[in-house]
Each structure stands twice: as structure tokens, then as C-alpha cells.
A and B are shown apart, each in its own frame.
Chain A
Amino acid sequence: MSDELSYLAQRAARGLMNRRAFLGRAAALGVTATMADTLLARAAMAAGPKKGGTLQMGLGGGESTNSLDPALDASQFPFMMLSTMGNMLTTVDAKGNLEASIAESWDSSPDAKVWTFKIRKGVEFHNGATLTADDVLKTMQRHSDKNSKSGAFGIMQGIADMKVDGDNFVVTLAQPNADLPYLMADYHLIVQPGGGMDKPDAGIFSGAYKLKSFEPGVKVVMEKFANYWDSSVGHFDTVEMLVINDATARNAALQSGQVQMVNQVDPKVADLLKRGKNITVAAAQGHGFYCFNMFCDTDPFTSNDLRMALKLAIDREEMVKKILAGYGSVGNDMPVNSSVPLFDAGIEQRKYDPEKAAFHYKKSGHSGSVLLRTSDAAFPGAVDAAALFQQSAKKAGITLEIKREPNDGYWNDVWNKQPFSASYWGGRPTQDQMYSTAYLSTADWNDTRFKDPAFDKLIMEARAELDPAKRKELYSQAGTMIRDNGGLINPMFNNFISAYRNDKIAGWADNPNQDMMNGLAAVKCWAA
């Protein structure tokens, strides 16, 4: 039976038989529709990509204030659009390993201080110009300039010097950093002609699709770029991305077939959406998390016993079940999980323990209630999550007072300003990046005010260490420090949930780094 079925699937994948006929024959062989769909998808993958067609995507996270300047990229829609049209030096694959992109290969001096990126030859920009190491240099200069407003400004700060050496782009760091090639995969660092210095929002990049029209907050239309350097991707003729910020409207557009892919599926409706005909819901376990931040340097959170009491008083399993509807995993009060390289899975998982929480709470000597600020701007379901936290803490004798803040202005007035508030992080592809963004004493976004010289020293040591086994051990120690002494309560890692029409789209492969196959869904998928 299976031979006949796979024969049929291959025929269907090659277009010799239509999908309906295949499903009918499969049903006759006693195979369920879901199983048959899986077989068909696998056969389509094996048959190889089909060229042509139009892809329409309905995406949340777009505003009419969006720009084509990669430096200003700060939400989902511009991220998707720019990932489809541009290239960074490197990209991160589904397993967390680095892949070559504009940089063909890279190497470092033994002390990890001088990095040389070999720039790929024969890469063409959409305006016909050839991409050179000089364009790369200028791009990096624009993002690291002291007047820059780039979102990547922070991660460029460790760079002491940059220069071009023939076809190579050479970076000299002030301090060693074994993860520099990962930093170069940051989605702001898209290579632009002349670094985009003259006109940062010109919309000229080197990616698989080129810009046709862009109406901020409405839609972007892109065409296949015929001279793209990597012929194994970029299968559609045209890609259209529509801004659909309303979750119900997004799902309706997918169900009615007006779009073939959507992002940001609400976990609460994911299972309902899945029941629809021809719809696959793809959930990728990412490194983004939903959390509650305490300021370690502000009373009453200066007491580690109080911090520990609150960490023990949260029911993580319940949060994943009720807030994420199961589309996520429990957090362990560290800002990283097993989706990043060199993670030590052996660190003990913290559990809900009201008795121990009560013990630490008593020891902290705190009395009265603890004020927690929350808002739906912090993360979807943050208000409900705070209420659940309040209930579970009550059993430990801790009174949480919840203050609901307005969505508008939450990131300016509450997050990183108030001592105890709900928040989220999109996560970073490496541990070093996550820790240096928000947990070093000197970090710009130290939203838990965790300042520990011993921790800083560990991170610096790990950065300079090129031996993976030793680095893993150092990160394990650093992670444990945050877990036991930090101000981060991290109950859950959320999944990126997307959905697509499996009768129209093939080639989907989850990538946990970001939404929609790390922003490459339009580049890597093809018309089924």
C-alpha cells in the first residue's frame, strides 16, 4: 500500500495528478486526509521547488509609519519585508548555526579580536551595481556612527576599527568576541549600496526579491530579482505582503484564500484555525519570552529572598497552559533556553512551590503588598498572566497588587522605569548577545538592574573563549547566577505561531529564530 501511495504522492507533486484526486485515491487506500496531506507535502519537498506564481501574505505588526530604512526596522512587517529583499553578512539557521550569506566565509585571529569576512563575489544590487566590500564597510559605518539611530547601534559598540582589505571586510574589536559573526546576522545590518548613506530608505538591496511598490501601513509588492546570487531560493514571481493588524481579519483572509500565509496567530485560536480545510498551523519554539522584571537595586526588590519568593510563587505550567494555550514552554528565570547554542540543559527547572516561597517571603521581612504593573502592551495576555500570578502568590501568603497601565506609552513610562512590571523579549540567537543586551552591569537595556561584577567577568571570559566546551560551562554558571540572584521572573517562552494554506504553499520549514521562518518564508517557500 505504502508503495502505491508514495507513487501517487510523487505524481501529484509533479503536477501529473491534482491534489483532490490524490486525496481521493489515498482515502480509497484507507489513509486519513491529514496523513495524506503530510505525504503530499513530503513528496512536494522531494520533487523540488516549483517556480512562478504569486504569494500573498497577511501580516500583523505593520504601521503607516514604517520605513524602508533597515536601521529603523522595529516591528514585524518591516522585518518581513526587509528580510525578503535584503541580505546580511550571515544568517542563523534553524538549528542555531551560522550560514553564509553576503560573507562567503569568515575567520578570526586566535584571540577572537580580529575578524575577517570574505565578501561573496558576483552579488548584484537591485540597481545593477555590484556589491563590494566597500558597501559592507559603509553599511557597518552607518549603523555604528555615533549619530546613528540604528536599532543595531548597541551591538556595534564593541568594534574598535573596520576596514576593507581586498575582497575582505576586516573588523577589529576592542574586546575579544567569539560571537561576532552572529552579531552580523542582526536583521538591521542589511547591506545597502554605499551603505545607504545617501538615501537610507531607497529600497535598494541585494535580496531575492526587489521592491515594486510600498505603501507604508498598507502593503508592499516585490518582484523576483532575476540576477539573485542564490538560485536555490526565491521561487515566486511576485510576493505581496498586506498589513492586516486585526487577528480575526488575518485569519479570515487565510480561510477565504485571499492570502496564503499569516503570522502572529493567537494561541487561543490556533487549534480552531487548524481545523479549517487546507490550513496548517506552524509553531516554532523560539527564544522569545514573556516575563516579569524586578529592579534588583530598588526596594523592596533589593532583597534576594523576596525575589526568590516571587520566582517560586509563579505557576509556570499553568501560564503555558492558560496564557499560551500550550504553544510555548516553561521558563527557568534565565533569558535563554535550549534553542540557543551552548545552552546547558542540565540546570534544574524551577517549579511552583508555595511553601518554599512563603519561607523566603518570611525571611525577606517584607510586609504589605507588592505592586506589579502590567498591560496588554507588555505581551498578549499579560493582564491575565498577572492575575494568575496574583492567585498563585496568594497561596504562598504573598499579596500582589496589580496595576493595569495603558497600552499607549507602556514602553516609555513603565517598562524599564518602574521597579516591577510585565515585559517581553524577542530573544537573541546567542547567549552572549542576550546577556550583553540586558544583563551586563553596563547594558543599555538592563531592565532588571542586575549588576554583578562576577557575572560581567564570566560573560567577558566566555566571549574570549573559542573552545565550545569551556564556553558552555561559563554560560552555565552565568545562567545559574541570573536564575538564582537576578531580577528576572521568566515563566514562559512563547512560540512563533504562523499558518499557511497547505494546498497552495510548499517548502515550509520552522526556524525558531524569528517569526515566519526567520523572516524568510517568502524567500524559501514555493507554490504547491
Chain B
Amino acid sequence: MHPVVKLVAQRIALGMLLLLAASVLIFAGTQILPGDVAQAILGQQATPVALANLRAQMGLDQPAYIRYFEWLFGVLHGDLGHSLANGQDVAGEIMGRLGNTLFLASTAAVIAVPTAILLGLVSVRYQGRWPDKVISAVTLSTVSVPEFLLGYILMYLFAVEYPIAPSVAMVDDTMGLLAKLHAVLLPATVLVLVVLGHMMRMTRAAILNVMQSAYIETAELKGIRPFLVIFRHAFPNAISPVVNVVMINLAYLVVGVVVVEVVFVYPGMGQYLVDHVAKRDVPVVQACGLVFAAIYIGLNMLADVISILANPRLRHPK
């Protein structure tokens, strides 16, 4: 078997085990949190009678491990269950939300990843000179500003003062691609600014690392243009760390953007998860946890595979 295929198979098996472990952890976590879904739904209106009624109706009077295995049985049969808080089908709701989250994340990624890598290359080319310094200063400052503040600043400038984009980034299925892109203009910009710095710095560092090598010197002595030396000879050998940091940032774009979603009222997964955690709505929290964990594991696996494919020494092991 080809080593890459073998590795992928191993990783998928391991990923399944990790998912199972994650689901146990999430379930345990929701059990440790104070209060339960019945109390959360009834809130200040809770009376002992109403609480008992609601708990019995939701099956919360059963022991925790039985509820976990019932849930696991359902998932293995492709049934993510129903929300305890409002009775909606979890799978159906998550599909819509996940679609929105992936749309926003991919819009941001399509802009951010090439820009970051290009800026990284430019920084190396002009290392220590003004373009390098300007790029570093700008990206470091956008990374350092909290996301919500960046969001508010953009909102003030481009939705209130000079209205070119909506401050409420609400998308739905009836909208065309262009309308959707217009709607997510501001949140996508914030996300780009947030992830750009990290990826750009990593690209720069990784390339600088290999710039000392003898083959770079050879390339320079051949008389190739400096930018091409970096792009053709240095960058391919620095891909492995760059891919890793790109994947971490992509995962972040999917699982970590709840603040941006709240500020721009974007109907994505983050807000959905937070609402249901607040209501101790275990089936939804479990399902979101699984999706997030799967995305994380999947992207990391992809990063490893790309690293191997990009590196002949790993591609053809002795």
C-alpha cells in the first residue's frame, strides 16, 4: 500500500476514536454545568411542578450514561436527534448553519490565504527594509485589535458613515451569490484581518529559515531574480510549516468566529452553539461538538498529507 494511503487510513481510524472521546468529554461537560435544560427553558418562571413535568417529558429523569448511549446509538444510525429546547430537528438546523459558516469561512480564506502567502514572500524579498516593516506593522496591529472592535470600527465606517455594505450580515437561501458576498463583506473583511498576520508571519519565518541553505546560494549565483529564488526554491521547502499554520487558521475560521457572528448578526454555527449551551441543550451541543471536532481533525489530516506530498523525502521513504 502506498504510504500516503496507509497514513490517511490510519488517520481516519484515529480520527473516529478522537471523535468518540470528544463526544464523551462534551457530554460530561454538559453534565457538570450547573442547572439543566428544564431550568434553562423555564428560567425565572420555573416552579417545581413545571420543572418535574418538563424533565419527565424530555427523559431527563434517566441516568446520564443511559442518555449518552441512547444518543450514541442514534448518531451511529444517522440520527442526531431533536433539540430539547425547541423540538427542531438537529441535523436539519445544523446543515443550514454549517453551510453559512463554511460560506463565510471560505470567503475569508479565499482572500486571506493567497494574500498572506504573497505578503510573506514580499516580506522575505525586502527583509529588513520598509515594505517588510510596513507589512509586519499593519498585520500585527490588525491581529492585536480584538475582533469585535475591528467589527465595530468597520461597521461605523462602512455601514453608518459611508454605507457601502450592510451592518447586519443576514443571508438566506433565496439570495444569489453576489448578494450573499455583499452581505458578508464586512464580517469577511474582519476575519481576513484577524488571520492574515499569523499566516503571513509564519510564511516569512519558514522561508527565512531555508534562505541560509546552500542551494539558495547556488540559485542566487545562477543569477535568478531574487523573487523567483524565493518562490521557486525557498518556498517549496517551507511549505510544510506554512500549510500547518494555514490549516489552523482555516479551522479557526470555522470554529472560532462566534464573536464576529454576534457582532454582524450572521446566522452561523457559533451563535447556534452558544445559545444551546446556555440552554443546556445536550443533543445540539453534542452535534455541534462533533462537527467542530471533525473539521479540526479533518483539516489537520489534510495538512499532514499536503506536507508529505510536498516533501520528496517523506513521499518516498526508504
Report A's interface with B, CB cutoff 8 A.
58, 63-67, 72, 74, 146-151, 153-154, 201, 215-219, 242-246, 248-249, 252-253, 255-259, 408-409, 411-413, 415, 444-445
**What are 6 inter-chain pairs, A to B, with CB distance below 8 A?**
A216-B86, A218-B170, A219-B170, A244-B265, A256-B163, A256-B167
Stretch at the interface among B22-30, B209-217, B248-256, B275-283: B275-283
CB closest residue in chain B, given A445: B44
CB closest residue in chain B, given A221: B172
Q: Are A409 and B160 in contact (CB under 8 A)?
A: no
Q: Are B160 and A256 in contact (CB under 8 A)?
A: yes
A403 to B302, CA, bound (A): 48
Q: Are B167 and A253 in contact (CB under 8 A)?
A: yes
Decide if the interface of chain A is mainly helix, strand, loop or mixed.
Answer: loop
Shortest CB–CB separation between residue A29 and chain B, in angstroms? 31
CB closest residue in chain B, given A67: B86
Which residue from B47, B85, B167 sits with its C-beta under 8 Å from A252? B167
Q: B218 near A: Cβ within 8 Å? A: no
Which residue from B41, B159, B166, B278 sits with its C-beta under 8 Å from A72? B41
Which residue from B45, B57, B93, B275 sits with its C-beta under 8 Å from A63? B275
Report the tally of A-B residue pairs with Cβ distances under 8 A.
Answer: 124
Set of chain A residues within 8 Å of B83, measured between Cβ atoms: 65
Set of chain B residues within 8 Å of A218, measured between Cβ atoms: 170, 267
B93, B275, B276: residue with the most chain A Cβ atoms closer than 10 Å: B275
- Given known A-B contacts A149-B57, A244-B168, A216 and B267 have beta carbons under 8 A apart: no
Q: Are A413 and B34 in contact (CB under 8 A)?
A: yes
Q: B33 near A: Cβ within 8 Å? A: yes
Set of chain A residues within 8 Å of B276, measured between Cβ atoms: 64-65
Q: B107 near A: Cβ within 8 Å? A: no
Q: Are B41 and A74 in contact (CB under 8 A)?
A: yes
- Given known A-B contacts A215-B267, A216-B88, A249-B262, A148 and B272 have beta carbons under 8 A apart: no
| Inter-chain pairs besides A65-B41, A242-B170, 12 sampled, C-beta below 8 Å | A65-B279, A148-B50, A153-B50, A215-B267, A216-B88, A217-B275, A252-B156, A253-B265, A257-B163, A413-B34, A444-B47, A445-B44
A76 to B93, CA, bound (A): 22
Set of chain B residues within 8 Å of A253, measured between Cβ atoms: 167-168, 265
Q: Residue-by-residue, is B127-167 near A (CB-CB < 8 Å gives 1, otherwise 0)?
A: 00000000000000000000000001001100110010011
Which residue from A153, A244, A409 sits with its C-beta under 8 Å from B47? A153
Q: B235 near A: Cβ within 8 Å? A: no
Set of chain A residues within 8 Å of B168, measured between Cβ atoms: 58, 242, 244, 249, 253, 258-259
Q: Are A246 and B35 in contact (CB under 8 A)?
A: no
Set of chain A residues within 8 Å of B42, measured between Cβ atoms: 74, 149, 151
A215 to B83, CA, bound (A): 14
Q: Are B170 and A252 in contact (CB under 8 A)?
A: no
A249 to B44, CA, bound (A): 27
Which residue from A58, A64, A255, A257 sits with its C-beta under 8 Å from B271? A64
Q: Please give the number of chain B residues whose Cβ is less than 8 angstroms from any Cβ of chain A in the complex.
A: 46
A154 to B50, CA, bound (A): 9
Q: B39 near A: Cβ within 8 Å? A: yes
A446 to B279, CA, bound (A): 24
Shortest CB–CB separation between residue B45 and chain A, in angstroms? 5
Decide if the interface of chain B is mainly helix, strand, loop or mixed.
Answer: helix
A247 to B85, CA, bound (A): 25
For the complex of A and B, list the 6 residue pairs with the smallest distance between their C-beta atoms, beginning with the closest: A65-B85, A412-B35, A67-B86, A409-B34, A63-B275, A64-B275
Shortest CB–CB separation between residue A154 and chain B, in angstroms? 6
Q: B263 near A: Cβ within 8 Å? A: yes
Within 8 A of A (CB), among B40-66: 40-45, 47, 49-50, 53-54, 57
Shortest CB–CB separation between residue A183 and chain B, in angstroms? 15
Set of chain B residues within 8 Å of A149, measured between Cβ atoms: 41-42, 50, 53-54, 57
Set of chain A residues within 8 Å of B78, measured between Cβ atoms: none
Q: Are A246 and B53 in contact (CB under 8 A)?
A: no
Which residue from A215, A249, A408 sits with its C-beta under 8 Å from B265? A249
Set of chain A residues within 8 Å of B163, measured between Cβ atoms: 256-257
Q: Are A411 and B43 in contact (CB under 8 A)?
A: yes
Q: Residue-by-residue, is B170-206 near A (CB-CB < 8 Å gives 1, otherwise 0)?
A: 1010000000000000000000000000000000000
A245 to B93, CA, bound (A): 20
Q: B317 near A: Cβ within 8 Å? A: no
Set of chain B residues within 8 Å of A65, measured between Cβ atoms: 41, 83, 85-86, 275-276, 278-279, 281
A215 to B96, CA, bound (A): 10
Q: Are A217 and B170 in contact (CB under 8 A)?
A: no
Set of chain B residues within 8 Å of A216, measured between Cβ atoms: 86, 88
Set of chain B residues within 8 Å of A201, measured between Cβ atoms: 86-87
- Given known A-B contacts A153-B49, A217-B272, A67 and B44 have beta carbons under 8 A apart: no
Shortest CB–CB separation between residue A454 and chain B, in angstroms? 25
A228 to B43, CA, bound (A): 34
A280 to B170, CA, bound (A): 25
Shortest CB–CB separation between residue A258 and chain B, in angstroms? 5
A423 to B105, CA, bound (A): 40
CB closest residue in chain A, given B34: A409
A151, A252, A409, A411: residue with the most chain B Cβ atoms closer than 10 Å: A252
A146 to B49, CA, bound (A): 8
Set of chain B residues within 8 Å of A242, measured between Cβ atoms: 168, 170, 265
- Given known A-B contacts A249-B264, A252-B155, A74 and B49 have beta carbons under 8 A apart: no
Set of chain B residues within 8 Å of A74, measured between Cβ atoms: 41-45
Set of chain A residues within 8 Å of B275, measured between Cβ atoms: 63-65, 217
Set of chain A residues within 8 Å of B281, measured between Cβ atoms: 65
CB closest residue in chain B, given A201: B87
A77 to B252, CA, bound (A): 30
Which residue from A63, A154, A243, A409 sits with its C-beta under 8 Å from B35? A409
Shortest CB–CB separation between residue A426 and chain B, in angstroms? 9
Within 8 A of A (CB), among B66-113: 83, 85-88, 93, 96
- Given known A-B contacts A147-B53, A255-B160, A249 and B267 have beta carbons under 8 A apart: no
A448 to B57, CA, bound (A): 31
Q: Are A246 and B263 in contact (CB under 8 A)?
A: yes
A244 to B263, CA, bound (A): 8
Shortest CB–CB separation between residue A427 and chain B, in angstroms? 13
CB closest residue in chain B, given A256: B159
Q: Are A248 and B166 in contact (CB under 8 A)?
A: no
